[in-house]
Amino acid sequence: MWSSLQVRPGIRVGFTDATAGNLAFHVGDDPALVAGRRVAVEHALAHGTGASPVDVQLAYMEQVHGAEVAVLDGGSQEAAPTADAMVVTAGAGSAAGLAVMVADCVPVVLLGETQSGEAILAVAHAGRPGVEKGVIAAVAEQMRRSGAVSIEAWLGPGVCGRCYEVPETMRAVVAARVPESWSTTSLGTPALDLPAAVLAQLAACGVPAHPSGVCTLEDEQYFSHRRSQRDGVDEGRFIGFITASAVP
């Protein structure tokens, strides 16, 4: 099961789970199967909004665990940008869609609104390096440069602070930048709480956010890189997405 929520007329945010299948090309899956799954997700989103399937096309990124923000022009993209966040303006009568792939990192989808009522859509890939490098502040800043006067965010499932064990030195370095990231696993070992860190960074940017409360390592409905390594199962990626249908 995977869900999407209409948060404004014509605007939907959501997160797939393992039932939608692996949506990443880079984890050794059959590319034809991945492409077919991506089309199936777009088709389901289109029919869920009453639009035709062609009206919902998701743009993906080549994610590199950085803080680069790609600004899209709203048309179909020839190639996925190398970035860990994307922003696009969806004016009245236009359609747009963005996707971010994860399997323990925190997927963040954001919606901004301009003074004239245009929607600013964004997604961000907030893994440990992205949190450390400031990808959340970077995407919020770009949304405001694009005209957003208000921004709201939704966090998808990610590995929680009880499960994300890291070396003590790494915890110290990240917590020095984002104190809210400091955590301890259920076994008492050093850990990072990425969802808490992302929420703190969004709050510092003046962005209200909705946490998911779901840990990908604990909940087998979602792909988890750490579970794949632990259990020797195939890798996969699910997505967070935001779409704007062509509404007047």
128-183 pLDDT tens trace: 999 999 999 999 999 999 999 999 999 999 999 999 999 999 999 999 999 999 99
What single DSSP character describes residue 181? G
Q: What is the pLDDT of residue 114?
A: 95
The strand pair at 3-8 and 85-90 is best described as unpaired
User: Could you tell me the CA-to-CA distances from 213 to 115, 134, 174, 210 in Å, in that order?
Assistant: 32, 22, 21, 9
DSSP string, 113-166: EETTS-EEEEEEEE-HHHHHHTHHHHHHHHHHHTTEEEEEEEE-----TTT-B-
Say what percent of the chain tops pLDDT 70: 92
In whole angstroms, give the CA distance from residue 139 to residue 121.
10
* Cross-strand bridge partners of residue 62: 82
Of the listed ranges 35-44, 76-85, 118-127, the least confidently predicted one is 76-85
Compute the average pLDDT of residues 120-131: 97
CA 220 from chain centre, in angstroms, equals 18
Compute the average pLDDT of residues 213-226: 96
Compute the average pLDDT of residues 229-243: 93
Compute the average pLDDT of residues 110-130: 96
Of 71, 75, 84, the closest CA to residue 142 belongs to 71
∠ CA 135-139-140, rounded to 5°: 115
Compute the average pLDDT of residues 73-86: 81
Residue 121, pLDDT > 80, answer yes
Q: For each of the domains in the chain, give its residue range(s) and CATH number, in order of start.
A: 9-244 (3.60.140.10)
In whole angstroms, give the CA distance from residue 161 to residue 211.
14
Residue 107, pLDDT > 90, answer yes
pLDDT level of residue 248 (50, 70, 90 thresholds): very low
Compute the average pLDDT of residues 103-130: 96
Rg of the chain, C-alpha, whole Å: 17
Q: What is the pLDDT of residue 75?
A: 55
pTM over 0.85: yes
Could you tell me if 126 and 77 are in contact, meaning their C-beta atoms sit under 8 angstroms apart? no
Q: What is the pLDDT of residue 93?
A: 58
Average pLDDT of the residues of the chain = 91
Compute the average pLDDT of residues 227-241: 93
Segment 37-73, tens digit of pLDDT: 999 999 888 876 444 444 678 999 999 999 999 999 8
Handedness of CA 66, 71, 74, 76 (dihedral sign): negative
